[in-house]
Chains A and B, each alone.
Chain A
């Protein structure tokens, strides 16, 4: 290990140091009372760490491969880091109002959020299966704890337990896959897997690895935990996990499938196509019947995992570009949708039913507007980022001659328009229920403005992000 290695990993290091600083600051200001102060110092510290990491991420390191070839910070890592940091930054802005209202421990919360982001970024930077495994664990352990952070809420505790048990189950499959790949290839180095002859042992190993990543990304049939965990976890934690787990899992998929095993694409492509089709159909059909918004967004996130898998199942630069673009846009639009929910309160509890949104337009027109915009984007309609992102992915499917896959993707998108626009219509019409009150918060307002602007920007002027992502894809060839 040298200074150059540490320089390559500087965004992760900054986030880790920021997380430790947040914990120390919180312990210092809280003192023996064990009740976090109401000031937002911890949040600002976390935000400063994220901003510094964004800055460092903009400069590619002199030597991208570091730590004896186990770690790589190339353009793809930079794109994944951007998606992760965007999600983390908006989450940090969304959280303080909610943390204060429900008296959740701010220090632990922000530190866990930052640690989890480090895990997702590490998965994008993995050049070795051991790093990928550690990244997955660093990503998911903080998420289990975040889900169970509301220690006085039984729903939150149950969500944490369910997430942990199923997550650990998925992890076991993942490491068993790593072990079998190691046995078949004699190496954990992802860059050396391409030349390894394809044996049944390697095939089983990769399949088990896929199950582990599928649990993390909530792909059908490994999605059973998602609706319950999303519903039970505190709202900002739900918002964060819906984004960061996808970023990490799909960074892992990119590192394993198109990048490490391009020669065997004929074998794994068919299997991933099947998983993608099942996931898109299941997620979208189940979302149709939800009345709870957190559950609806959970099924929607399952459906979106299916869409993103298209980019992996259709190997080639077009698919990789589609996944990276989708990750960034998904982070922005999903957090925008959750952010509006964070503003609402029903008699000291979360207001998370669709009916609670009624009449929002009359009380908080800006919030209702951002919610409608994010719903339009999630449905994949122009002029939003969601439309462009889906366009890239569907085109990649057609280029790879997966016509059935593209057809199912388009049809399920049409189905999804119904439930997304039902939410938007609820927010834009009707009379407000007395029990529900929209709160005001400056930081949430900033986050919502950022999310709304991002969704429109990526939809109307996609060229800036496309150019950045294209560099990432070109550097890989």
Chain B
């Protein structure tokens, strides 16, 4: 499979993730969509690293993975705390703040 196909695939995955964040209302699904976006980025990094023959892109994938994991830790902690108080994780129900 040639590089342009990998790049197109990751662009499509990234777009899917973006749509997911904008359209879905459950905080958990929004989270999953963000993870999808980050992993699409990883695919792009690996493809370009292969094309360019360097390791920079492959190393950065590890950083992105760690960052994504840390994000999930903080996010789930907050979501669990909100769920305890309200029994819902729907972002539309989380509406004490205007806007």
Contact = CB atoms under 8 A, between A and B. Distances in A.
A349 B98 CA distance: 19
B56 A141 contact: no
9 contacts: A137-B67, A154-B85, A161-B75, A172-B34, A176-B37, A182-B45, A183-B51, A183-B52, A231-B97
B27 A161 contact: yes
A158 B54 CA distance: 42
Contacts of A145: 74
Contact of B63 (A134, A168, A183): A134
Interface string A330-353: 000000000000000000000000
A186 B52 contact: yes
Which range contains the number of B residues in contact with the other chain? 35 or more
Closest 3 pairs between A and B when the two form their complex, measured CB to CB: A172-B37, A183-B48, A228-B97
Interface in B20-37: 21, 27, 30-31, 34, 37
A168 B44 contact: no
B12 interface: no
A161 B97 contact: no
Interface string B59-88: 110011001001100110111011001100
A227 B97 CA distance: 9
Interface centre among A144, A157, A159, A188 (most CB of B within 10 A): A157
The SS class assigned to the A binding surface is: helix
Nearest to B37: A172
B78 A179 contact: no
Contact of A130 (B40, B60, B79, B98): B60
Contact of A141 (B63, B70, B97): B70
A416 B19 CA distance: 36
A180 interface: yes
A148 B86 CA distance: 15
A63 B14 CA distance: 41
B81 A157 contact: yes
Contacts of A161: 27, 75, 78-79, 82, 91, 94
Contacts of B67: 133-134, 137, 171
Contact of B85 (A144, A157, A164, A187): A157
Interface in A226-243: 227-228, 231-232
B53 to A, nearest CB: 9
Interface of B: 7, 14, 17, 21, 27, 30-31, 34, 37-38, 40-41, 44-45, 47-48, 51-52, 54, 56-57, 59-60, 63-64, 67, 70-71, 74-75, 77-79, 81-82, 85-86, 91, 94, 96-99
Which range contains the number of A residues in contact with the other chain? 35 or more
Contacts of A148: 77-78, 81
Interface of A: 130, 133-134, 137, 141, 144-145, 148, 151, 154-155, 157-162, 164-165, 168-169, 171-172, 175-176, 178-180, 182-183, 186-188, 224, 227-228, 231-232
Contacts of B57: 179, 182
Contacts of B82: 154, 157-158, 161
Nearest to A184: B48
Contacts of B40: 176
Interface centre among B7, B47, B56 (most CB of A within 10 A): B56
Given A130-B63, A182-B45, A159 B14 contact: no
Contacts of B52: 182-183, 186
B74 A158 contact: no
Interface centre among A175, A179, A183, A224 (most CB of B within 10 A): A179
A159 B97 contact: yes
Contacts of A130: 56, 59-60, 63
Interface centre among B64, B78, B82 (most CB of A within 10 A): B78
